[in-house]
Structure 1
Amino acid sequence: MTSPSRSHGLICGDLEPGSRNLITDVSGVSVGHHTVIEGNLRTGFTAVWPHQGNLFREKLPAAVEVINGFGKSAGLMQVEELGTLESPILLTNTFGVGTGVNALVRRELAENPEIDRSAGTVNTLVMECNDGYLSDINALALSEDDAFSALKTASDNFGQGSVGAGTGTSCFGFKGGIGSASRVFDLDGSAYTLGALVQSNFGRAGDLVLPDGRRPSPEAARQTEERGSVIIVLAMDVPLESRQLKRVAKRAAAGLARLGAYYGNGSGDVALAFSTAQRLAHFQESDFVALDVLKEDRIDVLFKAATETTQEAVLNSMIASPAMTGRSGNHRPSLADWLAANR
C-alpha cells in the first residue's frame, strides 16, 4: 500500500514496508477510532488491540521508553517494572486519560470477573497528547462510551490523519494526527514485521526536515520553544524480552530526530513497544517460563525499522490531515497543501 508520504515521493530509509504499511501488518494487531468534531471540540480516542485474545489472561512482553516525561499517561509504571502488557491501549487527550482508564477497567472486569478477587488487579494503559490548541480540552467532553466505540471498531484497516486521538493535534506548526507505517525484514530465513503507530503533537514550526532535505515553513508564527507530545506504539512479531523491547523503543527517538525534533522541555514523548511472538499466561502452574529470545547482535535491523517507521508514521499523520480550524478560530495548515504547492 502506498502511504501518504510515499505518494509525495518521501521515502524514509530503505527497508521494505509491509503489505498495508500499517502497524496492523503485525498479525493480530488491530486499531479503531472514535472521532469527535462538533462546536469547539476536535478530539477522540484511538484504540490499539495487541492481539485478539484475552490480554489479561495472555499478556505480552512489553517495555516503555520515556524520551521526555512531560506527560500524564496512566499505566506506564507497571509496564516498566514488570515488562508486560495486559490490556488494550487507548490514546486520547490529556484530560481524557481518567475516562479511558475507567472504560478499560470496566471492559476488563466484564471479561475477567476474577480481577481483584482471585487474580490481582489489572494495569490499564492510556496515553495522551494535549489537543487544546484546536479543541476545548477543558470541556471534558469524552465519555466511556466514546472509548468503547474506539475499541469496538478496531480492525486491520484504519484511517490516518485527523481521526480518533489525532483529531485535534498539531505537529511542527502543521496539522498533526494519527499515522502508521511498517517494515518487513529477514531473520534466520523467515520474514518478520515491525509496525509503528503515532499520535503526533510536537515540534516547533519551521523545524521540520523532510527526507529529501526540504524544510517546510507553515504560515503560523514560529514558536520559541518545542511543546506538545508524541505517543509512539511499536508492535513486532520478533521474539524479544522486555529489556530488548526497551532498546528497540529507544530508537523511536531517532525517527523523531530525523524530522527535526529535539524533545523540548514541555514535550511528552513516549514510546511503547510490545512483541506478539509469545504470550505469557496469567494463570500458570510452573515456576519457570521458557521463552525464545533474539540473539543480541541481530537486533540492529529492529533498531533501523523502529527509526524508519516512526519517521514515516509522523509524516503520514501530517500529510493525511487536511487543514483545520478549531477552538477560538485557531488554525493549523496541512502539510499536504504545502507539498502540493512546492512540488
Structure 2
Amino acid sequence: MTTTRRLAPVLAPVLALLIAAAPALAQPVVPEGRARARDLGVAPGVLAPGRWNAITDVAGVRVGHTTVVEGDSVRTGVTAILPHAGNLYRERVPAAVVVGNGFGKLLGSTQVGELGELETPILLTCTLCVWRAADAMVDTLLTLPGMERVRSINPLVGETNDGTLNAAIRSRPLRPEHVRAALAGAREAPVAMGSVGAGAGTVAFGWKGGIGSSSRVLTRGLGGWTVGVLVQSNFGGVLTVGGARVGEALGRHPFTRALADSARPAPPPGSADGSIVIVVATDAPLSDRNLRRLASRALLGLGRTGSYASNGSGDYVIAFSTAREVRRAFDAPRLSTTELANDGGDLSALFAAAADATEEAIYDSIFAATTVTSRGGTVQAIPLDRVREVLGRKR
C-alpha cells in the first residue's frame, strides 16, 4: 500500500495546471509525543523567530511534501520549496550554492553557480530518485503558460541517501505523481517536520532524522529582513545541542566503540557519514555573490550541532532571495536591481540569522522525527526525556 501525505494546496494561477488537487490531508507540524527545539528550551542566538519559525516566514516561500510508504521496503519522499508563486523560469531569483563536503549529487548546481540564479523550484529527495524527480518537474513545468517555446531548463534537485530505511532505494520508487503532488501542495504555511517528505527515511546522528525548519526576523534597526532555513538531515557526528554533548552522554557517536576498545574500531549506528541539504531563503535584496556569503554561514550552524563534515558526507547549502528588487526576467536585455551594500550592518545580522536558524532547524529535524521501521531495520527517534536530562545537567 502507498501512503501519500501532502500539505493542503493553495494554488496560484500559474500552478493550476500542475495537477487536479485532491482533498487536503491535515498534517501537524510535529507529531504527537515529539517536540521542537524550543519546547526543550533550546533557542540558538539572540534574534527572534518568525510567526511559524519556519522557512515559510519569508513571504512568498512555499513548501510541499509527499511522503511515500510502500509495504515494508519503501520509506522515502520528496519535498518541494518554491521561492514564489509565479513562474520561476520567467521570473528568476538570485541564488547561490555552497559546498561544505561534496560527497553527493546536487543536480543543476553548476548552472546556478555560473549564472547566479534559480529558474525552477527546489526539490529534495533520495539519492537514486534525483533524476526521476528532475524529469517529473521538468515535464510539469513545460506545461505551464508561457513555456511553449522553452528548449532548455535547469532543475535544481538535492538528495540524501535514505537507503537503510528505504530498503527499496534501488527500485527508485519516486513517481511523477509524487513530485506533482509536492509541487501542487506547496503552501505558505507552517511546515510539517520530522519523518515527512524527503525526510521520511533519513538518519541523523544515529537517530531518526528528517525535515526541520526555522527562521529569524531582524529588528527594524537591523533592516527588518527575514531569513528562513529548511534542512533535510541525514548526517552524523557527535550530536551537540546548545553546547551540551548529547551524543556523548547517550553513548551514540562514531567513535564510541573505538574509544572503548581500540581493537574494535567499527562504528556503531551513530556513523558520521551521510548528507545534509540546507536551503536558506531571505527577503533581503541580496546579489548572488552575497547569497553565497550568506549560504556559507549556514555551515557554521551545522558545525554547532556536532558535524565535522565527514569524508562520506555531502553537505550542501542553497540560498536564494525573494526580494522583487533583485528578481530577473528571463528575457531582460539588462538587469536593473537594487541590492544591499557590502559594507552595511544588515549583512552581519543576516549572517547571524542564517547560522542560528540552521542550527535550530537541524535540532527540529531530529526532535520532531518519529521511529521508523522497514525491512532495512528500525531507526529509533531520539529519546526526548534523555535529551532533557542532559540539557538539565549542563544548565
Q: How high is the TM-score relative to the length of structure 2?
A: 0.81
Match of 1:271 in 2: 317
Contact 1:170 1:332 in 2 (8 A): no
Which residues in structure 2 correspond to 1:70-89 (within 5 Å)?
A: 70-89=103-122
Per-residue deviation, 1:219:
6.3
Deviation at 1:89, TM superposition (A): 0.9
Structure 2 residue matching 1:229: 3-state secondary structure: strand
- Which of residues 37, 41, 56 is equivalent to 2:74? 41
| Residue pair 1:62, 1:85 contacting (<8 A) in 2 also | yes
Q: Match of 1:296, SS?
A: coil
Match status 1:322 vs 2:322: no
Question: Which range is displaced more, 291-300 or 229-238?
Answer: 291-300
> CA, structure 1 residues 186+341, in 2 after alignment: closer, same or farther (shift >3 Å)?
closer
More strand by share: 1
Which sections of structure 1, spanning at least 5 residues, go unmatched? none
- Report the Cα distance in structure 2 between the residues aligned to 1:114 and 1:26, rounded to whole angstroms: 27
Equivalent residues in 2 for 1:278-293, closer than 5 Å: 278=324, 279-284=327-332, 287-293=333-339
Q: Assess if the C-alpha contact under 8 Å between 1:67 and 1:253 holds in 2.
A: yes
Name 1:237's counterpart in structure 2: 283
Partner amino acid, structure 2, of 1:243: R
Q: 1:32 aligns with which of 64, 68, 84?
A: 64
Residues 133, 330 of structure 1: 8 Å contact kept: no
- Cα distance change, pair 335–192 in 1 and its aligned pair in 2 (3 A): farther
Deviations 1:101-135 (A, max 9, x none): 111111111015646x4x54111111000001111
Is the 8 Å Cα contact of residues 230 and 269 (structure 1) preserved in structure 2?
yes
Counterpart of 1:334, as a letter, is I
Equivalent position SS for 1:141 = coil
Q: For residues 298-343 of structure 1, what are the alpha-carbon distances to aligned partners after superposition, in whole Å with 9 as ceiling and x for unaligned?
A: 2111111110010000000000012222233232332535335655
- Note the 1:160-179 alignment, pairs <5 A: 160-179=193-212
* Secondary structure, aligned partner of 1:11: coil
Post-superposition offset of 1:11 = 1.4
Identity of aligned residues (%): 44
Aligned partners of 2:147, 2:124: CA distance in 1, in Å? 26
Q: Give the paired residue count.
A: 337
Q: After the TM superposition, which of the residue ranges 178-187 and 238-247 deviates more from structure 2?
A: 178-187
Q: Is the 8 A contact 1:10 1:212 kept in 2?
A: no
| Pair 189,70 (structure 1): closer, same or farther in 2 beyond 3 Å | closer
Match of residue 140, structure 1, among 146, 159, 172: 172
> Counterpart in 1 of 2:158?
127
Which residue number in structure 1 is paired with residue 44 of structure 2?
A: 12
**C-alpha deviation, 1:152, in angstroms:** 1.3
- Aligned equivalents of 2:157 and 2:185: distance in 1? 17
Larger Rg over CA atoms: 2
Q: Deviations over 1:19-66 (max 9, x none)?
A: 110000000001010111232211100011110001000000000001
Please tell me whether the aligned partners of residues 196 and 233 of structure 1 are also in contact (alpha carbons under 8 angstroms): yes
Secondary structure of the equivalent of 1:198? Answer: strand
- 8 Å CA contact retained: 2:195, 2:369: yes
Residue 157 of structure 1: CA displacement? 2.3
**Counterpart among 247, 266, 276 of residue 293 in structure 2:** 247
Could you tell me how far apart the structure 2 residues matched to 1:11 and 1:216 are?
A: 19
Q: 1:63 to 1:187 in 2, by over 3 A?
A: farther
Q: Helix, strand or coil: the match of 1:230?
A: strand
Contact 1:66 1:269 survives alignment (8 Å): yes
- Range with greater deviation from structure 2 (212-221 or 124-133): 212-221
- Distance (whole Å) between structure 1 residues aligned to residue 300 and residue 191 of structure 2: 26
Distance 1:102 1:313 in 2: 29
Residue equivalent to 2:86: 53
Flag the 1:5–1:18 CA change in 2: closer, same or farther, 3 A.
same
CA contact (8 A) 2:81 2:123 kept: yes
The CA RMSD measured in Å over matched residues stands at 2.0
Matched, 1:262 2:296: no
- Say whether the 8 Å CA contact 1:175–1:335 is kept in structure 2: no
Normalization by structure 1: what TM-score? 0.93
